[in-house]
Structure 1
Amino acid sequence: MTVLEDLDRMPAKAVRIAVSHLDDAEAALADLRRQLSHARPSFILLFVPSRLSPDALSEALRNVFPNTVVFGCTTAGQITPRGYEDDALVALAFERSHFRVASTLFAPISPVSIADVVQQTERLAEQFRVTPGRKRLALIFADGLSKQEDILVAALEAGLKDIPVFGGSAGDGMRFEQTQVLRNGEFHSNAALLLLLETELAFSGLGFDHFQPTDSRMVVTRAVPEERLVLEINGSPAAHEYARLVNVPVDELSPTIFAENPVLVRNGNTYHVRAIQQIHGEHGLTFLSAIDDGLLLTLGRGKEIIRTLDTGLAVTDKQGEPPDFILGFDCYLRKLEIDRKGLAPEASERFRERRVVGFSTYGEQHLGVHVNQTFVGVAFFKPRGSVLP
């Protein structure tokens, strides 16, 4: 089945989707432009695979999309109308009849200035006034190696007040070298892109993982919080103690082991995943979320991942209708687990059925909280009634 046939199976009304697998940046963008020839976008979101050079794309964008507003980021994989992919350049053209957008760039974000983020966010929201009868939401795309998303999203929550915010941390395949966000034709590291959207479409936020707490608990006894680095757990070298708890030799620890045996942090009655990225040095563990001395961690155990995907994506509007499309931010560690278990075809079929398009992230942002190993998304429902001028 061709890409165009896959797109024909997913005829969303409020967004047009284009996918290219061409190796040359300008040729790939021209391929997208041809597929989007009938679109009248308010803006385009571009999800970039690690095989394409951001510098080459930035130069080509000026030639191929000179009069179009394009945002986006680099990724750790893509979700296309085919499902999971690793080498697809994906464009989502948000139709101007249904969406308005305003943007701002936070740079640098390491370290984050909470006051500056709040002030900049409040100013954007004040300037981008909502049209009566419409609703606003925010999307955030952050440098996934900045280690600042926890503070950033908390500041955004304060600045946006009652405007919900969803998003994903930019990725870099599995290299963990450089991640970037795209605004006004330029890619930026050590930065975060905030999009404020207005739409007449009904929408619903999604956020779910597939883990439950076990009885195995641990305490961080030595950490470097600004680096998200844990050196000791329960008074022992962190990697060795974690390996003991998951019953795996320390030299066999890997991203797959981390994906299938995450640690959880309790917040009230809710557990959030604090994912481990990799071993640091001989004994340390680098995390993908905030970590600190004295933090109590609980080892997580996975539930059936396809079943939780089915349940989590089963969202409808007030009339019982499925979404027009779901913009999805899916942790790369979820895909690692799905791949290892041979479940990628099943997961991809669920994404196709539910009209999910998005990317694999280095972290997810959901209503003021930075999380890991979580699917976060926004379900936009079919247009009904009036459209934006």
Structure 2
Amino acid sequence: MLKIATGHSEDPDTVIATRDALDMALAHLDGLTPKGALVFAGIDTDLRAMVDTIRTRFPAIELSGCTTDGELSEPEGFLEDSVVITLIASDLVDVTVGMGVGAAGDPDKATAQAVAMARGKTERDPALCIATPEGIGTNIHHILDGLRAALGADFPIVGGAAGDQLRFTRTSQICNDEIVSDAVVVMLLSGPVIYSCGVATGYTPLGQRHVVSRADGAVIHEIGGKPAVELYDDYVQSHSIFFPLAVHSPERGGIVLSTPQHFDRETGSIHLVNPIPAESEVQIATASRDEIIAAAREAGRQAVSAYPGTTPEAALVFSCAGRRAALGTRTNEEYTSLTEIIGQRIPTAGFYTYGEICPPGPEGRSLTHTNALVAVLLGTRTD
């Protein structure tokens, strides 16, 4: 048996919001005691009060989560400055969490610590990892490499990097009683768990490919021997996060998107969310709001068609903060479009992230994504 329920509240008082979200989730657990809780919270939430409220009520619960760029749930849809709590109860599946700090400086060590802590609490075989790492100052590619090294190259890892409503100043990660930054937090589901994933962006590259001629980590200085910003001047006459950079990736057989954080008009450089190596081939990418919303339906269709069971017990959603910024007042349409495909009654929780993680399809190793929507369906084997 696996039972998952969600609760969501935007009450400005954190304690009241946490209690309301807990009560809402518990009402759908049919009297079962939760083993684990996954929490997504607005950046201005009093995290200490939220964690204390949950852990006082359930002292033994395994708790993980992070701050976000916006929260999603089946009861309420898209909200900001709110608290989403997902409770997990099961007699077949163990829920364990772990944390490693110093993710920016030593992602291998941080990921190894997080996985070792979570694995040390269960004798069952891990089946799925839900990761909520630091989203500022870290390299999400290196974090995923570390998680794959600790769990296995093809072990399924899903999740999203913590956000802070595009302030890019500080995010927080939660592991049981601890509230930290610059950390990797994981939740392991161990036992007969089944899952499926879908991922889509809706973005299309413009024009011909161009070669990054000079780059330093996440800062591109020159493209085609010219100041990087000139590519945007030539194609879209705009320096905007609404136009991510499409990076051609031989590993994927396609592209991965990277969102600009800052355009330096004096130096001509572009500061991006993810590092892009020199010699990479890039194009500016664009999408209309309708295309972004349609991509949510596509991610849902992929997940539903790949699900190996009958009816999923729950869904998780990780969507990029860049998509939320581009959608503006239509943000909730992305979520409602997804639920039209996966079902509107299934318990669902998620958040807007600074980088998404999931396998690219029903099989294959987990990859990082940007400007994507990731849909994950969860359940247990019945045989």
User: TM tier, shorter chain?
Assistant: 0.7 to 0.9
Contact 2:128 2:157 in 1 (8 A): yes
Kindly report which structure 2 residues correspond to 1:46-57, keeping only aligned pairs within 5 A, or say none.
46-57=39-50
Q: How many residues align?
A: 360
Match of 2:207 in 1: 215
Match of 2:361 in 1: none
Letter in 2 for 1:274: S
Match of 1:200 in 2: 192
Contact 2:110 2:184 in 1 (8 A): no
Match of 2:272 in 1: 287
Higher mean C-alpha displacement, 206-215 vs 116-125? 116-125
Contact 1:108 1:191 in 2 (8 A): yes
Secondary structure in 1 matching 2:132 = strand
Letter in 1 for 2:150: G
CA change 1:96–1:281 in 2 (3 A) is: farther
CA distance in 2, matches of 1:320, 1:149: 31
CA distance in 1, matches of 2:59, 2:115: 27
Letter in 2 for 1:230: I
Letter in 2 for 1:40: T
CA root-mean-square deviation: 2.8
Match of 2:374 in 1: 376
Match of 1:142 in 2: 133
Question: What are the Cα deviations for residues 94-148 of structure 1, in whole angstroms up to 9, with x where unaligned?
Answer: 11335312222111112125366457646854774435xxx61111111100322
Moved >6 Å (runs of 4+): 317-320
Shift of 1:361: 0.2
Contact 1:166 1:377 in 2 (8 A): no
Match of 2:327 among 323, 333, 338: 338
Match of 1:31 in 2: 20
Shift of 1:76: 0.4
Shift of 1:243: 2.2
CA change 1:158–1:216 in 2 (3 A) is: same
Question: What are the Cα deviations for residues 55-109 of structure 1, in whole angstroms up to 9, with x where unaligned?
Answer: 4434544545444332110000011123222132100001133531222211111
Secondary structure in 2 matching 1:346 = helix
Question: What are the Cα deviations for residues 20-75 of structure 1, in whole angstroms up to 9, with x where unaligned?
Answer: 11112222222223224444211011100123132443454454544433211000
Shift of 1:331: 0.6
Contact 1:330 1:376 in 2 (8 A): yes
Secondary structure in 2 matching 1:373 = coil
Shift of 1:309: 2.0
CA distance in 1, matches of 2:51, 2:10: 17
Say whether 1:76 aligns with 2:72: no
CA distance in 1, matches of 2:269, 2:201: 26
CA distance in 2, matches of 1:122, 1:185: 18
Question: What are the Cα deviations for residues 247-298 of structure 1, in whole angstroms up to 9, with x where unaligned?
Answer: 214xxx233x33xx43232225221112222324643221111222222212
Kindly report which structure 2 residues correspond to 1:98-113, keeping only aligned pairs within 5 A, or say none.
98-113=92-107
Match of 1:171 in 2: 163
Letter in 1 for 2:130: L
Match of 1:278 in 2: 262
Contact 1:264 1:300 in 2 (8 A): no
Question: What are the Cα deviations for residues 353-379 of structure 1, in whole angstroms up to 9, with x where unaligned?
Answer: 324421100111224432211122321
Match of 2:357 in 1: 365
Contact 1:112 1:148 in 2 (8 A): no
Match of 2:299 among 312, 323, 329: 312
Q: What TM-score, normalized to structure 2?
A: 0.83
- Return 5+ residue gaps in structure 1 as ranges: 1-12
Higher mean C-alpha displacement, 282-291 vs 313-322? 313-322
CA change 1:76–1:385 in 2 (3 A) is: same
CA change 1:234–1:271 in 2 (3 A) is: same
Contact 2:246 2:255 in 1 (8 A): no
Contact 2:197 2:376 in 1 (8 A): yes
Letter in 2 for 1:142: P
Secondary structure in 2 matching 1:294 = coil
Match of 1:235 in 2: 225
CA distance in 2, matches of 1:209, 1:247: 19
Letter in 2 for 1:243: Y
Contact 2:97 2:117 in 1 (8 A): no
Contact 2:118 2:186 in 1 (8 A): no
Contact 1:153 1:369 in 2 (8 A): yes
Say whether 1:183 aligns with 2:175: yes
Q: What TM-score, normalized to structure 1?
A: 0.82
Secondary structure in 2 matching 1:14 = strand
Shift of 1:190: 0.7
